[in-house]
């Protein structure tokens, strides 16, 4: 099995950890190198990594940036107690970031946005329409229920006179309503 630099990570100075190189044990917190040596994991300070593997293992970690991502407290505990689990997590993160399906989704949604944006002048950069609120009930404006009853009575009289029909039959309701509208718009307020 080959040797491999898996990740470079960082912890807070107060939470520094011991370099695992043989006979070292120095406390390290920056540029901590997680390496796989013949299948077993080792956590090394950057000096020991250079001393032991400089040139033999490339400086480009497989599952992290070469800057060294800062670990959360939980991840730091994992680094010491279960390095393999942390490596698995970093690997999953790395794969999610590289996932072609995700890239594809992103492309699709971006082209969707592009389509919408080029949908012609009337749609381009149109501000969202204000939400129309239902008109507040008009309490002191317009005809009172009493006036409406008077309009209706007058409308029925007018419809009967004009069309010679029974305005109380449902079939003529439209005519009555039309006449009510006319009356309410005019000043012919019946007494
Ligand atoms: Zn060391």
Determine the distance separating the centroid of ligand 1 and the alpha carbon of 53, expressed in angstroms: 12
Strands 32-37 and 4-10: antiparallel
Is residue 116's pLDDT more than 70? no
Determine the distance separating the centroid of ligand 1 and the alpha carbon of 41, expressed in angstroms: 14
Q: Distance between CA 65 and CA 88 in Å, rounded?
A: 15
Q: What pLDDT score was predicted for residue 120?
A: 46
Determine the distance separating the centroid of ligand 1 and the alpha carbon of 72, expressed in angstroms: 22
Q: What is the mean pLDDT of the chain?
A: 83
Q: What pLDDT score was predicted for residue 146?
A: 83
What value does the mean pLDDT take over residues 85-107? 82
- Give Cα 167 distance to the centre of its chain: 59
Banded pLDDT at 124 (limits 50, 70, 90): low
Determine the distance separating the centroid of ligand 1 and the alpha carbon of 21, expressed in angstroms: 5
Tokens of 104: 């594809």
Banded pLDDT at 176 (limits 50, 70, 90): confident
Q: What pLDDT score was predicted for residue 129?
A: 66
Domain ranges of the chain: 4-100, 145-185
Determine the distance separating the centroid of ligand 1 and the alpha carbon of 79, expressed in angstroms: 16
Is residue 121's pLDDT more than 60? no
Per-residue pLDDT tens digits for 101-110: 666 666 666 6
Determine the distance separating the centroid of ligand 1 and the alpha carbon of 11, expressed in angstroms: 16
What value does the mean pLDDT take over residues 97-125? 60
pTM for this prediction: 0.53
What value does the mean pLDDT take over residues 141-163? 84
Kindly list the protein residues that place their beta carbon closer than 5 angstroms to ligand 1, a single-atom ion.
Answer: 19, 21, 24, 26, 45, 48
């Amino acid at each position: 099995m080959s040797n491999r630099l898996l990740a470079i990570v960082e912890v807070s100075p107060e939470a520094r950890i011991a370099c695992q190189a043989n006979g070292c044990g120095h406390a390290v917190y920056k540029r901590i190198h997680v390496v796989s040596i013949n299948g077993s994991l080792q956590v090394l300070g950057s000096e020991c990594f250079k001393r032991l593997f400089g040139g033999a293992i490339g400086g480009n970690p497989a599952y992290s940036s070469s800057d060294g991502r800062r670990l959360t407290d939980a991840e730091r505990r994992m680094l010491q107690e279960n390095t393999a689990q942390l490596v698995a997590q970093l690997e999953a993160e790395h794969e999610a970031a590289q996932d072609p399906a995700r890239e594809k989704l992103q492309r699709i949604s971006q082209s969707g946005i592009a389509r919408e944006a080029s949908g012609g002048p009337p749609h381009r950069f149109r501000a969202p329409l204000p939400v129309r609120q239902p008109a507040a009930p008009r309490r002191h404006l317009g005809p009172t229920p009493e006036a409406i009853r008077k309009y209706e009575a007058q409308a029925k009289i007018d419809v009967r006179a004009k069309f010679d029909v029974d305005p109380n039959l449902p079939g003529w309701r439209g005519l009555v309503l039309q006449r009510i509208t006319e009356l309410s718009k005019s000043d012919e307020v019946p007494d």
